Amino acid sequence: MLRQLTEWYKNRFADPNLSVLFLLLTAAFLTVYFFGSILAPLFVALVLAYMLDWPVNYLMRFKLNRTVSTFIVMTLFISVAVFAFLGILPTVFKQGAALIRDLPAMFNEAQVYLATLPEQYPDMIDTITIALIVENIRTYILDSGGFLLSQSFSSLLNIAALIVYAILVPLMMVFFLKDKKVLTNSMKKFLPDNIMLAEQVWVEMNGQIMNYIRGKIIEILIVGVATYFVFFFMDLRYSALLAVLVGLSVLIPYIGAAAVTVPVAVVALFQWGLSADFVYLMVAYGIVQALDGNLIVPLLFSEAVNLHPVIIVIAVLVFGGLWGFWGVFFAIPLATLVKAVLNAWPDRERLIQNKE
- The enclosing H or E element of 199 equals helix 196-233
Of 4-13, 25-34, 72-81, 214-223, which gets the smallest average pLDDT? 4-13
Do the Cβ atoms of 170 and 76 come closer than 8 Å?
Answer: no
CA distances to 93, 224, 228, 229, 276 from 234, in Å: 21, 15, 10, 8, 12
Q: How confident is the model over 327-352, as pLDDT tens digits?
A: 777 777 777 777 777 776 665 555 44
Single-letter amino acid code for the residue at 322: L
192, 22 contact by CB (below 8 A): no
CA distances from 158 to 86, 101, 155, 198, 327 (A): 19, 24, 5, 39, 22
Query: For residues 157 and 135, what is the distance between their CA atoms, to the nearest angstrom?
Result: 33
Give ∠ CA 190-200-340 in degrees, rounded to 5.
Answer: 115
Runs of H (alpha helix) within 36-158: 40-60, 66-83, 89-120, 127-157
pLDDT > 70 fraction of the chain, expressed in percent and rounded: 72
Residue 291 has what pLDDT? 86
pLDDT of res. 185:
80
Task: Please report which confidence band the pLDDT of residue 149 belongs to, taking 50, 70 and 90 as the band edges.
Answer: very low
pLDDT of residue 157 exceeding 50:
no
Rg, C-alpha atoms of the chain? 25
Q: Is the pLDDT of residue 84 over 60?
A: yes
Residue type (1 letter), 246: V
Condensed to tens digits (0 to 9), the pLDDT of residues 251-295 reads 777 677 778 888 888 888 888 877 888 889 999 999 988 888 777
Average pLDDT score, the chain: 76
Instruction: Say how far apart CA 300 and CA 209 lie, in whole Å.
Output: 13
Give first-to-last CA distance, the chain, whole Å. 26
